Chains A and B, each alone.
Chain A
Amino acid sequence: MKKVIMGNHALSYGAMLSRAQVIAAYPITPQTQVVELLSEMCASKTLDAKFIKVESEHSAMAASLGASLAGARTFTATSSQGLALMHELLHWASGGRLPVVMGNINRAMAPGWSIWTDQNDSLSQRDTGWIQFYCSSNQEVLDTVIQAFKVSEKLLIPSMVILDAFALSHTFEIVEIPEQKDVDAYLPPFNPPYRLTPSDPHAFFGLTGPEHYFELRYKLQKDMEKAPALIEETGREFERIFGRYLGLVDEYLSDDAEFLFISSGTAGSTARVAVDDLRREGVKAGNLRMKVFRPFPFDKVRGIVQKAKKVAVVDRNLSYGHHGIFYQEVKSALYGQDGMPPVFGYVTGLGGRDITPGDFKEIYGLASSKNTPDEEIGWIGVKR
């Protein structure tokens, strides 16, 4: 069935179709409608889940951890300052190997107060041990929630499904709502190897000395390394049932591209328009939209990038004192590899300023005028 829904409701439908059993969340603009619709679904029994009202995002994640540890499929959603308040507990989720799935609406960090999009909220949580999926359409948001539960529960690693504030969260798009029986066939009930239960009581997450802590973290990394192959496998399985492939990246005319953009989120859709315009002007442009940021899909990115002659990474985020974060990560993935093209980095669209096809064409113009990137950040659209 097709519906016209906002990105926030795509998250809610994704959680509903995944038969989430516990939802603990605290509302924050621009995430509020995610929780509103889920609470209505719980009240009307459309979704047979326990809805836990909490007093903060810290508590929302704490309640989610308890629910997940008890063996319930658990969903929550937040944004920006709320995600930052959860920070401590994000480590508990991954270290505790609890496959919670969380929607995060990318919203710029205050101050000044902003409700508009950029990626610094979720990218600040890069090292917490969560899988991160960046989406570029409402359909992809819904589909990715279902896939994220499958990947997370297999690896026992939590996932964030990330979408841009307003550009997706409050934008209505046509979304194919999958049939419940098809989702059930794709996503079996959650059956964890350990759980908190009175019939076999164990103590969890207690003091762990230097003789064991290191090995537990080694195991987390080893399982994280299994995610890229598992995401591709579950993406193909998703395609067999629903007709839509969910991969690590989204390529657009990248096969024969001489000039390759690397982008993420909704800017990745804008990039396609710019690529079409540039192609009409005779430029062999292409786009690589990063869907999965953690774990970083090293092999996939290297394989695509090495075919290009020049690469421009477009970041809607910034690591102050360094560069755009995707730019850092792409460069790091290419370090020491033979035959890689020069990679240029550009920062744009902070705090929700629009990123237009014209911005991508400006980036093309700037990068084509140089042979090697310099240390300066390429600022696009800043008034100076």
Chain B
Amino acid sequence: MAKKKETKKIVFQSESEMPVTAMSLGSMLHNKTGAWRNIRPEVDRAKCIQCGICWKFCPDVSINIVDNWPVVDYDFCKGCGICAEECPTKCIVMVEEVK
């Protein structure tokens, strides 16, 4: 389970130091949004037919295909459940996170 990183709020003193639009200054790779998750997708490989539909539908690009199997990146998966909903064999089940 990813832990939310301690962050310090940046307040700019002048507009000249700011980017032209509202954007994160640091890379989003450090912002582990998996900490938001209440339910987690778990893949049952016995039922998985390696169709890749979960990979295609994941809105957070948090399913990677490793040796043809879907592997959830729990650092970034927010637990939306779209993969479980779309899975044609229902091999993905959403399981409650126990904190």
CB within 8 Å of B: which of A182-219?
A: 193-194, 198, 200-206, 208, 211-213, 215-216, 218-219
Q: How large is the interface on B (under 10, 10 to 19, 20 to 34, 35 or more residues)?
A: 10 to 19
Instruction: Select A215's contact among B12, B29, B31, beta carbons within 8 Å.
Output: B12
Q: Is the CB of B12 within 8 A of A95?
A: no
Are B21 and A216 in contact, CB atoms less than 8 angstroms apart?
yes
Q: A97, B18: Cβ atoms under 8 Å?
A: no
Is the Cβ of B23 less than 8 Å from the Cβ of A205? yes
Interface of A is mostly: loop
Would you call A216 and B20 a contact (CB within 8 A)?
A: yes
B interface secondary structure, majority:
loop
Partner of B24, one of A96, A202, A219: A202
Contact indicator B15/A97 (Cβ below 8 Å): no
Contact A223 B20, CB 8 Å, known A201-B27, A202-B28, A203-B31: yes
Q: Are A204 and B12 in contact (CB under 8 A)?
A: no
The distance in angstroms between the C-alpha atoms of A95 and B20, with both chains bound, is 9
Apart from A96-B21, A212-B12, A216-B20: 20 A-B pairs, beta carbons within 8 A: A95-B21, A95-B22, A97-B20, A193-B20, A194-B19, A201-B27, A202-B26, A203-B23, A203-B24, A204-B22, A206-B23, A212-B22, A213-B22, A216-B15, A216-B22, A218-B15, A219-B15, A219-B20, A220-B20, A223-B20
Least CB distance from A380 to B in Å reads: 43
Question: When the two chains form the complex, which single residue of A202, A211, A215, A218 contacts B23, counting CB atoms closer than 8 Å?
Answer: A202
CB-CB under 8 A from A220, the residues of chain B are 20
Contact with B along A73-115 (1 / 0, CB 8 A): 0000000000000000000000111000000000000000000
> Whole-angstrom distance between the alpha carbons of A204 and B31 in the complex?
13
**Cβ 8 A contact of A194, one of B21, B27, B61:** B21
Which single residue of chain A is at the shortest CB-CB distance from B22? A208
Would you call A156 an interface residue if the criterion is a C-beta within 8 Å of the partner chain's C-beta atoms?
yes
Q: Looking at the assembled complex, report how far the CB atom of A253 sits from the nearest CB atom of chain B, in whole angstroms.
A: 41
CB distance A204 to B27 under 8 Å? no
Of chain A, the residue at the smallest CB distance from B33 is A203
Complex: chain B residue closest to A206, CB-CB: B22
Q: Are A200 and B27 in contact (CB under 8 A)?
A: yes
Interface flags, B36-78, vs A, CB<8A=1, else 0: 0000000000000000000000000100000000000000000
Whether a CB of chain A sits under 8 angstroms from the CB of B98 is no
Interface mask (A129-142 → B, CB under 8 Å = 1, otherwise 0): 00000000000000
On whether A97 and B27 interact (CB within 8 A), knowing A218-B15, A219-B15, the answer reads: no
